[in-house]
Amino acid sequence: ITMPKDTVVKPVNVTCTAPVNIAVVKYWGKRNEGLILPINSSLSVTLHQDQLKTTTTVASCRSFQEDRIWLNGKEEDINHPRLQSCLREIRRLARKRRNDGDSSVDVGCLSHKVHICSVNNFPTAAGLASSAAGFACLVYTLAKVYGVDGELSGIARQGSGSACRSMYGGFVQWIMGEREDGKDSVAQQVEPESHWPDLRVLVLVVSIAERKPVGSTAGMQTSVETSSLLKHRAESVVPDRMKQMIEAVHKKDFATFAELTMRDSNQFHATCLDTFPPIFYLNTVSRHVISLVHQYNRHYGEARVAYTFDAGPNAVIYTLQQHVAEFLQVVRLVFPPDNNNGKTFLTGLQVEPVEISEELKNAICLEPMPKGISYIISTQAGPGPRVLEDPGQHLLGPDGLPKPDA
Amino acid sequence: ITMPKDTVVKPVNVTCTAPVNIAVVKYWGKRNEGLILPINSSLSVTLHQDQLKTTTTVASCRSFQEDRIWLNGKEEDINHPRLQSCLREIRRLARKRRNDGDSSVDVGCLSHKVHICSVNNFPTAAGLASSAAGFACLVYTLAKVYGVDGELSGIARQGSGSACRSMYGGFVQWIMGEREDGKDSVAQQVEPESHWPDLRVLVLVVSIAERKPVGSTAGMQTSVETSSLLKHRAESVVPDRMKQMIEAVHKKDFATFAELTMRDSNQFHATCLDTFPPIFYLNTVSRHVISLVHQYNRHYGEARVAYTFDAGPNAVIYTLQQHVAEFLQVVRLVFPPDNNNGKTFLTGLQVEPVEISEELKNAICLEPMPKGISYIISTQAGPGPRVLEDPGQHLLGPDGLPKPDA
């Protein structure tokens, strides 16, 4: 009996999306480089995928000769150790479950090679946590292909530490864990995305690249080796701060959430400066944003806006819906956008312009920096990874290769 | 009997000079604001007075109606609490010694008012530790007027913390002390200025003022209140570092001295960033100097040059005589001086220009910043305060008022 040819070679396609997350208690420093086990727990907000997401299609087919991957339109080396970690771990899990008699595992698939195609709907090299969304999406999609589910953040963690937090929506903690094998170093949802509907997030993409930054993997390794302040932070500061932050999120206590967020961002950058040689991720524009936020909050006598910076100069602002429009006007005042992109300066959730008072204008005593910020993405907390059911959205064609626009 | 009029009203003049000091283990944070007692010990190099000094004349006269002070040509408020602390403490010490029967104390003087006139031979508001030299000089000169000697750094400390270290030449530690009354919080010479003749100091005066900095008194108070990293630094990092630094100075071990100096500067600025709201003293030029030093040292595979920054953007460079000329050329390469001040770019100890190799030029991969550094003061370790014997150098005239050019 000869099987019809099309059923034999047609790949099984699964397409998923996954979100970016921005930490408010930062992860910096590994206790185990291979397994990506952190020296402290961390906590983040998952951003909405309407604004920032990775989309990944995984195709599995008997006829594929080898595993292959395309990222943002370019084929990349599938042998990258972290990619291999994720592939190996998901396949191991699938095999284990099949051997345990789980009928949901796709048995045929297990022996097939996969083609992976992944794209971001936001600039990749702009320091916007694309590896977190990317590895979360990869692991989530592979898991769907192989029919495995359950706790997957521990696998995403092995692709990129912070990717584990992108496996859930809303407010997510990555519990550092204690075990040497890392099995207890996993992400956990603290509150779902619906918990704090007023919370807004503005991503201020800084235009000036002052100097080549140190990559976060190399940077955190040097910090662990040389900064005594980082060790103190991990052991003595973060445990309490995690408790306070989780409490602030539960209570939707913005003032506490904001102050802890800013203090934690500053402390992370302080440990970078205490690294030898020192690492600088904040640039002139970043420091200007910091001043702006403190002047704004001081004017109102309360923390209405909070900044946080990852391993790059871009600012992420947390605020509440009722303050977004005014704060955006203040940002436009201090960072006048280019005439040509005045209309595209703000993307994402739209915000109606408002007038700002003379008192507020006078309270902000900062030299304007024209074009210091190139654009702003306005968003909110959002859900975790999702399966796209519409086959039209697959990034790989019936031939198992990226579609022309993927 | 009528005394001749001129012997009655002619003031007694004493003129002294005192040096600037630059810490290599930094002082930041007080445990007692009034007495100026620090939360950690510190260590500095006293710079040579041929390049940087304060000159102070104190005149004492029966006919003076009140204590008065002129700083850099302008009369200032004598009631400033820290000035009053120094005056009160010296007078108390003189009275105590007189009562103890010490014949060297000038009895007549004790009831007289004083006129004080003080000038710096370097820019005052440029963040060059002028208050350290200023208060050291004030206390030293007052002590000569009242005929008291012995341990005076504890009094200078009450004028400006780091002034206590300017009471000695060479390498000086300020031992934090333990007593609540501060009596054991004094400076002590670790090695005299003659100990390490090869050591050179370059003060790189940065031309760009990016933003109004926070004064060090307010800054360190906020740091003590808000930075948990500062507390850890003071308690757990500095005690060991002091021992290592003193050992490096004893041994003239430049590589260790340099690395500890850079690490300590970075850690001080890290605690400023961990302060809430954060404090930034380093600007773009400062960070460029830091990169330059690390690239230079990396090129040679050893620490030949070290930077340190106080509460401002100016860099102080420690290096050895044999590396000064080459390093200066590299600085000129990265910070090309203004054409107009090419000749006045370097002041102080003269250094013959040298050629630098193409390999070194290629190793320094930094965007040039024209005019980023406005000038450089080249100097070395120097002695402590001195009395000027030449009456022509008094800053106050026979009328007890500043001479025209003082």
B325-343 residue pLDDT tens? 999 999 999 999 986 656 7
**Nearest to residue B29, comparing CAs of B319, B232, B301, B290?**
B232
- pLDDT score recorded for residue A7: 52
Which of A228, A237, A295, A369 to mutate to probe the B interface, most B CBs <10 Å?
A228
What number of other Cβ atoms are within 10 A of residue B6's Cβ? 8
Angle at A241 between CA A237 and CA A244, to 5 degrees: 155
**How much is the average pLDDT of B370-392?**
95
pLDDT score, position A342: 62
pLDDT classification of B122: cutoffs 50, 70, 90: confident
Facing residue for A267 by CB, picked from B259, B274, B277: B274
Task: Give the per-residue pLDDT at A100.
Answer: 86
Q: Residues A381, A197, A150, CA angle at the centre, nearest 5°?
A: 50
Give yes or no for residue A142 having a pLDDT over 70.
yes
Task: Determine the pLDDT at residue B98.
Answer: 86
Mean pLDDT of A377-389: 97
Q: What is the dihedral of CA B149, B153, B155, B159, to 10 degrees?
A: 130
Looking at residues A387-397, what average pLDDT do you find? 95
| Tens-digit pLDDT profile for residues A219-271 | 999 999 999 999 999 999 999 999 999 999 999 999 999 999 999 999 999 99
Q: What is the pLDDT of residue A111?
A: 87
Whole-Å CA distances, B11 to A84, B54, B397, B400: 87, 21, 9, 7
Is B105 in a helix, a strand, or coil?
coil
Instruction: Provide residues of A within 8 Å CB-CB of chain B.
Output: 210-211, 226, 228-229, 232-233, 236-237, 259, 262-263, 266-267, 269-271, 273-278, 280, 284, 287, 290-291, 294
Task: Say which residue, B176 or A104, is predicted with more confidence.
Answer: B176
Top mean-pLDDT range of B100-104, B125-129, B173-177: B173-177
Query: In whole angstroms, how far apart are CA B381 and each of A68, A110, B28, B47, B169?
Result: 64, 73, 23, 5, 8
Query: Whose structure tokens read 């970690």?
Result: A85
pLDDT at B131 over 70: yes
B→A interface, C-beta within 8 Å: 210-211, 226, 228-229, 232-233, 236-237, 259, 262-263, 266-267, 269-271, 273-278, 280, 284, 287, 290-291, 294
Of B229, B275, B294, the CB nearest to A229: B229
**pLDDT number for residue A29:** 97
Do B62 and B9 meet the contact criterion of CB atoms below 8 Å apart?
A: yes
Which two three-digit tokens encode residue B307? 């930077």
CA angle B253, B255, B258 (to 5 degrees): 105
Count the Cβ atoms, other than its own, within 10 Å of residue A329. Answer: 16
- Which residue is closest to A227 within chain B, CA to CA? B267
pLDDT at A211 over 70: no
The per-residue pLDDT for A102 is 77
The pLDDT of residue A341 is 59
Amino acid letter for position B72: N
**Cβ-based contacts of B280 with chain A (< 8 Å):** 287
Sorted by sequence, the CB contacts under 8 Å of residue A99 that are 6+ apart come out as none
Cβ of B228 within 8 Å of Cβ of A236? The answer is: yes
| Residue B177 in this model has a pLDDT that exceeds 90 | yes
Strands A171-174 and A187-191: what pairing?
Answer: antiparallel
Report pLDDT for B300.
97
> Is the dihedral angle over the CA atoms A45, A51, A52, A54 positive or is it negative?
positive
Identify all chain A residues contacting B276, using CB atoms and an 8 Å cutoff. Answer: 259, 262-263, 266
Diameter over CA atoms, chain B: 84
CB A18 within 8 A of CB A385: yes
8 A C-beta contact, residue A387 and residue A49: no
Neighboring chain B residues of A266 at a CB cutoff of 8 Å: 273-276, 278
Look at residue B174 and tell me whether its pLDDT is greater than 70.
Answer: yes
User: Do B280 and A262 lie within an 8 Å CB cutoff?
Assistant: no
Give the whole-number percent of chain A exceeding pLDDT 90: 83
Q: Which of A134-138, A357-361, B64-68, B129-133 has the lowest mean pLDDT?
A: B129-133
**Residue for token pair 């010479």:** B189
Radius of gyration (C-alpha) of chain A in whole angstroms: 22
Over 60: is that where the pLDDT of B20 sits?
yes
Angle B282-B330-B270 (CA atoms, 0-180°, nearest 5)? Answer: 20
Q: d(Cα A334, Cα A369) in Å, to the nearest integer?
A: 6
Q: What is the mean pLDDT of chain B?
A: 93
Residues B219-265: pLDDT tens digits? 999 999 999 999 999 999 999 999 999 999 999 999 999 999 999 99
How many percent of chain A have pLDDT more than 70? 93
| pLDDT tens digit sequence for B268-313 | 999 999 999 999 999 999 999 999 999 999 999 999 999 999 999 9
Asked whether residue B359 carries a pLDDT value surpassing 90, the answer given is yes
User: Which tokens belong to B350?
Assistant: 């003269």
pLDDT the model gives residue B130: 81
CA distance A404 to B38: 67
**Residue B341 pLDDT:** 59
d(CA A149, CA A142): 10
Per-residue pLDDT, averaged over A185-197, amounts to 98
Q: Cβ contact (<8 Å) for B270 and A273?
A: yes
| A279-285 average pLDDT score | 94
Mean pLDDT of B182-209: 94
Angle subtended by helix axes B321-334 and B284-300, to nearest 10: 130
A vs B, Cβ pairs < 8 A, gives 75
**Banded pLDDT at A315 (limits 50, 70, 90):** very high
Q: How far apart are CA A83 and CA A65, in angstroms?
A: 18
Instruction: For residue B383, give the 3-state DSSP assignment.
Output: coil
Phi and psi at A118, nearest 5°, equal -140, 135
CB atoms within 10 A of CB A171: 27
The kind and range of the H/E element at A92 are helix A81-99
For B273, the closest of A273, A276, A284 (CB atoms) is: A273
Q: What confidence tens digit (pLDDT) does each residue in A27-48 have?
A: 999 999 999 999 999 999 999 9
Mean of all residue pLDDT scores within chain A: 93
> In the numeric block, which tokens belong to residue A28?
């910096």
Distance from first CA to last CA of chain B, Å, rounded?
38
pLDDT score at A236 = 97
Q: Which residue has the tokens 């191991």?
A: A92
Name the least confident of A104-118, A131-145, B139-153: A104-118
Q: Which long-range contacts (CB under 8 A, 24 or more apart) does B92-100 make?
A: B93/B143, B93/B146, B93/B148, B93/B155, B94/B146, B94/B147, B94/B148, B97/B148
Complete domains list, chain B, with CATH: 5-191+389-393 (3.30.230.10), 199-380 (3.30.70.890)
- Inter-chain CB proximity B277 and A271 less than 8 Å: no
pLDDT at B208 over 70: no
- A238 phi, psi to nearest 5 deg: -65, -40
Label residue A126 by pLDDT band (50, 70, 90).
low
The whole-number pLDDT of residue A340 equals 65
Quick: pLDDT tens for B34-51: 999 999 999 999 999 999
Give me the half-sphere count of Cα atoms (radius 13 Å) on the Cβ side of residue A62: 9
Instruction: Please give the Cα distance from B12 to B111 (Å, whole number).
Output: 13
pLDDT of residue A207: 84
**Residue A245: predicted pLDDT:** 98
As a whole number of angstroms, the distance between CA B240 and CA B327 comes to 31
Contact A360, A299 (CB under 8 A): yes
Q: A234: nearest CA in chain B?
A: B229
